[in-house]
């Protein structure tokens, strides 16, 4: 099972990837999460990525591609993967194909999550995350049991620095200009599967699992 989740910021890639990773028993690989982990740990990669992420811009392709190549070569990704946030522009998409081919692998499908602009903005500005364990919530759509605290580890929740309205607007613009062309790119390869990303989380996950499974 080698899946790519494609969709704008706030379309639910991380939320769905978590469910799909459990159902298909393959790792959830999020380039954004890897950058944020490096940031927390104060690595050189994290410091470099921060400058781009805080501006809502993409981290340079060579850095991101090297990071993904490394991650996909790890033992747990041999049986498959759910990629969330990569590829993110045509250059990364074009680099990804020979990279998979050389490793003797091919994509099962590309899951495209379609969500309206105003819903994206409401989702992102209302998102709260746990700085310790990475769990993600929404003040309205998925509130924690105790307001402001993580259900898993009780840590105080925070807002992602790039979830301010200003940076969200920038990220959506970068999506339109750089990431959206991948929809046609994968459609032309017969890999694209489109889903209504405004469905409730569980209903959407069921729809994805049944369509991907039927596809073989
Ligand atoms: P990244 O971390 O990938 O962020 P993103 O693409 O902007 O997407 P998000 O994580 O914000 O949204 P999501 O689709 O995962 O939605 P979520 O499930 O959380 O990238 C961050 C930055 O890293 C980039 O800007 C860039 O700088 C850098 N980067 C990453 N990858 C890169 C690459 N390949 N190349 C270069 N740079 C890269 O859901 C959002 C909210 O909605 C949550 O609160 C959730 O609870 C709620 N929600 C989700 N689903 C539903 C639903 N069905 N119904 C109701 N609410 C829902
Ligand atoms: Mg995410
Ligand atoms: Zn937590």
pLDDT class of 215 with cuts at 50, 70, 90? confident
Domain span holding position 80: 2-215
pLDDT band at 126 (very low <50, low <70, confident <90, very high): very high
> How many residues are listed for the chain in this entry?
216
Report DSSP state, residue 193.
E
- In this predicted structure, what is the pLDDT of residue 216? 65
- Number of folded domains that form the chain: 1
State the pTM of this model: 0.95
Average pLDDT over the chain, rounded to an integer: 96
∠ at Cα 41 (160, 95), nearest 5°?
75
- Active site (annotated) includes residue 170: no
What's the gap in Å between 91 CA and the centre of ligand 2? 21
- Compute, in angstroms, the gap from residue 155 CA to the centroid of ligand 3: 6
160 C-beta closer than 6 A to ligand 1: no
Q: 155: helix, coil or strand?
A: coil
**CA-based max dimension of the chain:** 48
Concerning whether 127 is annotated as a catalytic residue, the answer is yes
Neighbours of ion ligand 3 (CB under 5 A): 130, 132-133, 135, 150, 152-153, 155
Whole-number pLDDT of residue 130: 94
Strands 109-114 and 28-30, by their bridges, are: unpaired
Specify the residue for token string 């309206």. 116
Ligand found nearest the CA of 163: 1
Give the number of whichever ligand sits closest to the CA of residue 136. 1
Compute the average pLDDT of residues 77-95. Answer: 97
- Confidence band, pLDDT 50/70/90 cuts, at residue 134: confident
| CATH code, 98 | 3.40.50.300
Nearest atom of ligand 1 to the alpha carbon of 86 = 34
Residue linked to tokens 């954004």 = 32
pLDDT tens string 41-66: 999 999 999 999 999 999 999 999 99
pLDDT value of residue 191: 97
SS3 3: strand
Q: At what angle do helices 165-174 and 117-125 cross, to 10 degrees?
A: 140
């Amino acid at each position: 099972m080698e899946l790519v989740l494609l969709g704008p910021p706030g379309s639910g890639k991380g939320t769905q990837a978590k469910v799909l990773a459990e159902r298909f028993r393959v790792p959830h690989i999020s380039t954004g999460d890897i950058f944020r982990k490096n940031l927390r740990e104060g690595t050189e990669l994290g410091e470099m990525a921060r400058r781009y992420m805080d501006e809502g811009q993409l981290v340079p392709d060579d850095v991101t591609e090297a990071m993904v190549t490394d991650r996909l070569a790890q033992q747990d990704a041999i049986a498959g993967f759910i990629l969330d946030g990569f590829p993110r522009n045509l250059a990364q998409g074009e680099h990804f194909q020979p990279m998979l081919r050389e490793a003797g692998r091919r994509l099962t499908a590309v899951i495209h999550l379609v969500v309206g602009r105003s819903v994206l903005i409401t989702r992102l500005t209302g998102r709260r995350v746990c700085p310790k364990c990475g769990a993600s919530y929404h003040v309205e759509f998925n509130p924690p049991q105790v307001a402001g605290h993580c259900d898993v580890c009780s840590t105080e929740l925070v807002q992602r620095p790039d979830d301010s309205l200003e940076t969200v607007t920038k990220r959506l613009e970068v999506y339109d200009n750089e990431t959206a062309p991948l929809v046609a790119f994968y459609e032309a390869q017969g890999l694209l599967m489109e889903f209504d990303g405004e469905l409730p989380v569980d209903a959407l996950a069921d729809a994805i699992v049944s369509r991907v499974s039927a596809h073989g």
